[in-house]
Amino acid sequence: MSLPDAFHDIAKRVNNWGRWGAADELGTLNLITDEVVREAAATVRTGRRIPLALPLTRDGVQTGMIPGRIDPLHVMVQINQELFGPGTVACSDDAVTMGLQAATHWDALPHVSHSGRLYNGRPAHSITPHDGAEFSGIDKVRHLVSRGVLLDVARARGTERLDGGHAVTPEDLDAAEELAGTRVRAGDIALVRTGQVQLCLAGDRHGYAYPSPGLSIRTPEWFHARDVAAVANDTLTFEVFPPEVEDLWLPVHALHLVEMGMPQGQNWDLEKLSTACGETGRYAFLLAATPEPFTGATGSPVAPVAVL
Amino acid sequence: MSLPDAFHDIAKRVNNWGRWGAADELGTLNLITDEVVREAAATVRTGRRIPLALPLTRDGVQTGMIPGRIDPLHVMVQINQELFGPGTVACSDDAVTMGLQAATHWDALPHVSHSGRLYNGRPAHSITPHDGAEFSGIDKVRHLVSRGVLLDVARARGTERLDGGHAVTPEDLDAAEELAGTRVRAGDIALVRTGQVQLCLAGDRHGYAYPSPGLSIRTPEWFHARDVAAVANDTLTFEVFPPEVEDLWLPVHALHLVEMGMPQGQNWDLEKLSTACGETGRYAFLLAATPEPFTGATGSPVAPVAVL
Amino acid sequence: MSLPDAFHDIAKRVNNWGRWGAADELGTLNLITDEVVREAAATVRTGRRIPLALPLTRDGVQTGMIPGRIDPLHVMVQINQELFGPGTVACSDDAVTMGLQAATHWDALPHVSHSGRLYNGRPAHSITPHDGAEFSGIDKVRHLVSRGVLLDVARARGTERLDGGHAVTPEDLDAAEELAGTRVRAGDIALVRTGQVQLCLAGDRHGYAYPSPGLSIRTPEWFHARDVAAVANDTLTFEVFPPEVEDLWLPVHALHLVEMGMPQGQNWDLEKLSTACGETGRYAFLLAATPEPFTGATGSPVAPVAVL
Amino acid sequence: MSLPDAFHDIAKRVNNWGRWGAADELGTLNLITDEVVREAAATVRTGRRIPLALPLTRDGVQTGMIPGRIDPLHVMVQINQELFGPGTVACSDDAVTMGLQAATHWDALPHVSHSGRLYNGRPAHSITPHDGAEFSGIDKVRHLVSRGVLLDVARARGTERLDGGHAVTPEDLDAAEELAGTRVRAGDIALVRTGQVQLCLAGDRHGYAYPSPGLSIRTPEWFHARDVAAVANDTLTFEVFPPEVEDLWLPVHALHLVEMGMPQGQNWDLEKLSTACGETGRYAFLLAATPEPFTGATGSPVAPVAVL
């Protein structure tokens, strides 16, 4: 089995290999220039901050279907331990075990490969058990602050939540961009709201996982045309699931991460942000969403904050 | 054994219990108002971003002396796994086990207790193995973005790195504030540079750990007078170690976290930031440093970014 | 709410506190004398060995209902790593994170408490986050080798598998003992077969978990009369689940672990052993089932082996 | 660089590939027949049991030099949690994260490879991050009970502890065998005592690690001639360290695991066993040392028990 021609046609049109040099490991994050960040800071009007991460708990979003992607197991290593003798200041310490892609997270570029290749043509076998990803690991993203734009597809379509299985199309993105009142531009981080995370917040993990609305295989070209730096949304699978084309699994992952070199965010809670943007009519903001610098990792939890 | 009168005298002067109500769990983070954040965004001049986190690696800053505070053990759960059959898009996933206070991190308020009490008079026993901290867990900090000010004590004292055992005094902070050319004000996050992290960056973990320069027991009053929201520095122990007063261990932790309700940051890499501030003569910036929202945790790794 | 009189009546009759001294931490394991082990070795006829542990895999017996009891997450830390240079001998290493009670395991005595007490009257609060169980931790069991006797209740009742919810009674144990052709005696380890593990082996984790046959609240007196050293069976919950008496949860755990000081084994695979015993008509054997010596732990995985 | 001729010469002489068929995954464990086990059971005289495992603690044998081989991090997930409401039976649960080769353990055959090959000619690349070892994983060892023989080299040489760097030779093994008063035979498990573990028990982890006495490259032929099933000793490195031949690292590992297909045990505490054998003059016993069945793992902790 191999990937169909339809995939390869799109791949050619969105491919960014070599665009920032043969040695590049950052992909579309190169589009976040100092100027972009200056303008992002200038979008701040009220100073209000809205967090976009789901809580990191044992009872998280995972259903157990992806065995290694375990919800955070947070444990207390010591509680009120008087390390220096009775009556001294007492310390409490914790530890955690978790899948790096288990909760609100960024996919690093090497999170997927296809045809033996990673972004910029690096060989898939450059990921090793001992060192993780040699190229484009999440640690290479040293900072991730830019202008964020909420593309509220659910609202633009006049619904609270897209149906499970709805494929978000370029036309949906056009409508959401029009609602946002600002053109998405180079270096922006696009946050695509489907409303699906409401199921997760209501405790229905299985309904949240499947079936899920998400990005259509046609959207990478839209993001490529706008030259966005990254895209995140409020679903577990990111792209529509089950997939649009039979037996073509995770094509959007492959186009974004491998062909374009564009990081993806999943399990972002965009509900409060949607309310705030709806109230003010402003859908652009400063977004601070730097991943934790795990050396060689193919993803990282993130606690994104929108500053309005 | 109990804490000495000298401690209790300072504790009375800096105590914030009840200041934001009996139910408050945020302490000095209440000082970060929308207005403070608006002004923080307005400090951005160039858009340059400087990351302040150390890499999260197996070979991290811990020496093994604090047994549960293990360096991040990053492992690959799958590598280029063709989940949907041969020739399909392949996925790589990772997991991690780590002490939440092992690397660049924030201490949440319940990280220490003294005399059976946590911030705002909560009982120390409200921390439990199953649920962690009932009050003021790191998850209660939903966002942490404010104006940051670098207090470059090493530079103000004309040295690259303070001596091990040097206690940073209020006078040192005055000098660093003068060098910074801006008065530290309510809601700011103060970053105190000692230069000690150079030892860690050079691979000398033991020298980094001990002896260490750090904050004197006299500095909490300085931070209290300025009403800063949080303080971070570039050491493992935060306060001077070994301590200034014999058998008085971690007094600054107790004053900041328990009495003032002020979060502390440790193991921050302030070297590149120092260079940048020195070049521009500007020591204030927008600081994005939101912790990961581990429910009930007494600390969290953080990937802080200064936007200049 | 408190435990009913019916519980306390049985508790008095089976209580072993003080029987082996006020300082004792081993409970009924004291009954395994050198003589018992000599006789156990003498039961070996063929030298055939039958393993009784379920595989330790990510896809184990847990359903996710008990959040911290995670299935083993086995990961490769390095694969064929040529540590000493190209062309040298290459090493592969692994690590694991798991709940100690997640798979085939022993409950240590402090695994449960009631009314604030552990076995031998120790206070429940002697278990701490930093050190675990101060008394009777699984590490105190340095060896666990004795005569094992299979009490094949399913076979004695003429069925392959007891119904979910069937409470195994003293009369069931009598019948199984008669089938075994040997009287259960002091220091023996009784293995009670219900056949329930067949559901787990067939991949039906939820059916395995609930409803489950298991020991009735009336059986601790039977084990106490025989003075067995330990009891294990082939279920997740050990005792019948849901419980026989409304709102009386885990009474057998409390009677065995707290009152009698008798370790319990769960998730043991007794199917092949049952076949072998059925073929030979011999139901007694040498049983080697030493837990891993985790300091202060309230349980441990175990890989029991019957030698026939 | 490649392995020297001296290595390949020995390799040819001890190679067992194909001896038990092309599909074999057990290697020398095939030598433990029912008859061997029957005779092993018959060695039991007193019924005394001696545990051979080191405690599993955070403060274990590792020095941090092998980053992923972390000492057991044992944590309490819940303590006296009244799961079913106030006043009900309360539960305590634990979890652990550890390197499988961190403490007293067995190396499975795929723990090392050389020249791209594992035992029986399997390709080294058959070990994968997701599934671990496809062939000869520790889970394939379903039971490990046999006759154990203590080869007390330290005592045979009239010392309490061999010098760091002493290479145990075939002549040393001959002398220890003579002291044991029994000829080592097919299917036996040989326990080679150097006394080195005394350093570990005294808290000197670094001294324990290096320099270490251990097996010489000449001993695999001795074990091959006797057809032992497995060998364990009381050191961290198993073989003499630093190595006897410059730049020839871990040759004994490669000969035992890859060429012979013989499991190795490390960090076994043989001190009490040595005392007991010295007192009785009997050095053979029943040994129960079944590893935990981690699917696809290249090693496992073990809690071995000698029954005398």
Average pLDDT, chain D: 96
Tell me whether residues B77 and C77 touch, CB distance under 8 A.
Answer: no
Q: What is the pLDDT of residue A253?
A: 98
Spatial CB neighbours of B21, under 8 Å, sequence gap ≥ 6 = none
Helix (H, G, I), strand (E, B) or coil at D271: helix
CA nearest to B227, candidates B262, B259, B202: B262
Q: What is the pLDDT of residue B63?
A: 83
C142-178 in b/e form (b: 16+ CB < 10 A) is bbbbbbbbbbbbbbbbeeebbebebbbbbebbebbbe
Give the number of other CB atoms < 10 A from CB of residue C14.
18
Lowest-confidence range among A79-93, A110-124, B44-58? A79-93
The gap between the terminal CA atoms of chain C, to the nearest Å, is 48
Least Cα separation, residue D50 to chain C (angstroms): 7
Determine phi and psi for A44, rounding to 5 degrees.
Answer: -65, 120
Spatial CB neighbours of C135, under 8 Å, sequence gap ≥ 6 = C25, C109, C110, C118, C119, C120, C122, C126
Write the ipTM.
0.97
Least Cα separation, residue B235 to chain D (angstroms): 21
- Alpha helices (H) along chain C: 5-14, 34-42, 153-156, 170-180, 197-201, 205-209, 219-226, 251-253, 271-280
Ranges in chain C, pLDDT < 50: none
Residues of B with CB under 8 A from a CB of C: 68, 73, 75-77, 95, 97, 129-130
CA nearest to A256, candidates A69, A7, A36: A7
Taking the C-alpha atoms of residue B166 and residue B244, their distance in angstroms, rounded to an integer, is: 9
Strands C284-288 and D264-266: unpaired
Taking the C-alpha atoms of residue D87 and residue D94, their distance in angstroms, rounded to an integer, is: 22
The CB-side HSE value for B97 (13 A sphere, CA atoms) comes to: 31
In angstroms, what CA-CA distances link A234 with A129, A214, A289, C267?
Answer: 30, 9, 15, 39
Ranges in chain B, pLDDT < 70: 1
| Dihedral class, residue D120 (left if φ above 0, else alpha if ψ from -120 to 50, else beta) | left
Tell me whether residues B55 and A251 touch, CB distance under 8 A.
Answer: no
Which of chain B's residues have a Cβ under 8 Å away from the Cβ of D59?
67
Find the helix or strand (DSSP H, E) in which A208 lies.
helix A205-209
Taking the C-alpha atoms of residue C298 and residue A154, their distance in angstroms, rounded to an integer, is: 50
Least Cα separation, residue A1 to chain D (angstroms): 21
Which of chain D's residues have a Cβ under 8 Å away from the Cβ of B75?
68
Taking the C-alpha atoms of residue C135 and residue C127, their distance in angstroms, rounded to an integer, is: 8
| Dihedral class, residue A92 (left if φ above 0, else alpha if ψ from -120 to 50, else beta) | beta
CA nearest to C173, candidates C236, C212, C220, C210: C220
Number of A:B CB contacts under 8 A?
Answer: 305
Considering only the beta carbons, identify the residue of B75, B78, B130 that sits closest to D81: B130
Do A78 and C68 contact (CB within 8 A), yes or no? no
The predicted model gives A132-136 an average pLDDT of: 97
The predicted model gives D227-240 an average pLDDT of: 98
CA nearest to D232, candidates D195, D191, D262: D191
Both structure tokens of D48: 């005394």
Least Cα separation, residue B46 to chain A (angstroms): 6
Both structure tokens of A57: 């708990």
Residues of B with CB under 8 A from a CB of D: 58-59, 64, 67-68, 70-71, 73, 75-79, 81, 97, 128-130
Taking the C-alpha atoms of residue B222 and residue B151, their distance in angstroms, rounded to an integer, is: 13
In angstroms, what CA-CA distances link B285 with A21, A50, B297, B305?
Answer: 32, 20, 28, 10
Taking the C-alpha atoms of residue D150 and residue D270, their distance in angstroms, rounded to an integer, is: 9
Model confidence at A70, pLDDT cuts 50, 70, 90, reads confident
Number of A:C CB contacts under 8 A?
Answer: 40
Which of chain D's residues have a Cβ under 8 Å away from the Cβ of A73?
77, 95
CA nearest to B253, candidates A80, C130, A90: A90
Which of chain A's residues have a Cβ under 8 Å away from the Cβ of B114?
88-90
* DSSP percent split of chain B into helix, strand, coil, nearest 5: 30, 25, 45
- ω before A301 within 30° of 0 (cis)? no
Helix (H, G, I), strand (E, B) or coil at B258: helix
Q: What is the pLDDT of residue D275?
A: 98
DSSP class of residue A61 equals S
Helix (H, G, I), strand (E, B) or coil at C152: strand
Do B40 and B147 contact (CB within 8 A), yes or no? yes
Taking the C-alpha atoms of residue D191 and residue B272, their distance in angstroms, rounded to an integer, is: 55
Q: What is the pLDDT of residue C1?
A: 56
The predicted model gives D126-144 an average pLDDT of: 96
Taking the C-alpha atoms of residue A109 and residue A160, their distance in angstroms, rounded to an integer, is: 31
Q: What is the pLDDT of residue B247?
A: 87
Least Cα separation, residue A118 to chain B (angstroms): 10
* Whether pLDDT at D1 is above 70: no
Taking the C-alpha atoms of residue C40 and residue C48, their distance in angstroms, rounded to an integer, is: 14
Helix (H, G, I), strand (E, B) or coil at D151: strand
Helix (H, G, I), strand (E, B) or coil at C207: helix
Tell me whether residues C64 and A64 touch, CB distance under 8 A.
Answer: yes
Q: What is the pLDDT of residue B95?
A: 93
Q: What is the pLDDT of residue D130?
A: 86
Find the helix or strand (DSSP H, E) in which A251 lies.
helix A251-253
Helices (H) and strands (E) in chain D, counts: 9, 16
In angstroms, what CA-CA distances link B114 with A246, C80, D190?
Answer: 62, 49, 54
Least Cα separation, residue C129 to chain B (angstroms): 6
Both structure tokens of B247: 């058998």
Which of chain A's residues have a Cβ under 8 Å away from the Cβ of B112?
89-92
Find the helix or strand (DSSP H, E) in which A170 lies.
helix A170-180
Domain boundaries, chain C: 5-54+104-307
Taking the C-alpha atoms of residue D11 and residue D15, their distance in angstroms, rounded to an integer, is: 6
* Whether pLDDT at A67 is above 90: no
pTM (predicted TM-score): 0.90
Q: Which of A75, A126, A127 to mutate to test the interface with D (most CBs of D within 10 A)?
A: A75
Taking the C-alpha atoms of residue B217 and residue B256, their distance in angstroms, rounded to an integer, is: 10
Output the CA torsion sign for B77, B83, B87, B89: negative
Which of chain C's residues have a Cβ under 8 Å away from the Cβ of D78?
68
Strands A132-133 and A127-128: antiparallel
Residues of D with CB under 8 A from a CB of A: 68, 73, 75-77, 95, 97, 129-130
Do C257 and C113 contact (CB within 8 A), yes or no? no
Least Cα separation, residue C36 to chain D (angstroms): 7
Output the CA torsion sign for A113, A117, A122, A124: positive
Strands B189-193 and B230-233: parallel
The predicted model gives D146-165 an average pLDDT of: 98
Q: Residue A13 carries which side chain, given as an amino acid letter? A: R
- ω before C211 within 30° of 0 (cis)? yes
Which of chain A's residues have a Cβ under 8 Å away from the Cβ of D73?
77, 95
Determine phi and psi for B153, rounding to 5 degrees.
Answer: -65, -40
Helix (H, G, I), strand (E, B) or coil at C148: strand
Q: Which of D143, D249, D255, D269 to mutate to test the interface with C (most CBs of C within 10 A)?
A: D143
Q: What is the pLDDT of residue A64?
A: 76
CA nearest to A248, candidates A218, A210, A209: A218
pLDDT digits (tens, 9 = 90+) for B68-106: 788 999 999 999 999 888 889 999 999 999 999 999 999
Q: Which of B26, B292, B298 to mutate to test the interface with A (most CBs of A within 10 A)?
A: B292
Taking the C-alpha atoms of residue C275 and residue C256, their distance in angstroms, rounded to an integer, is: 28
Smallest CA–CA distance from B254 into chain A, residue: A89
Considering only the beta carbons, identify the residue of B58, B81, B130 that sits closest to D67: B58
Smallest CA–CA distance from C64 into chain A, residue: A64
Q: Provide the CATH topology of domain C5-54+104-307.
A: Glucose Oxidase; domain 1 (3.50.30)
Which of chain C's residues have a Cβ under 8 Å away from the Cβ of A59?
67
CA nearest to C105, candidates D93, D225, B12, A173: D93
Strands D189-193 and D230-233: parallel
pLDDT digits (tens, 9 = 90+) for A289-298: 999 999 999 9
Tell me whether residues D130 and B68 touch, CB distance under 8 A.
Answer: no
Which of chain C's residues have a Cβ under 8 Å away from the Cβ of D293?
51, 53-56, 303
Taking the C-alpha atoms of residue B247 and residue B236, their distance in angstroms, rounded to an integer, is: 19
* Whether pLDDT at A1 is above 80: no
Smallest CA–CA distance from D100 into chain C, residue: C95
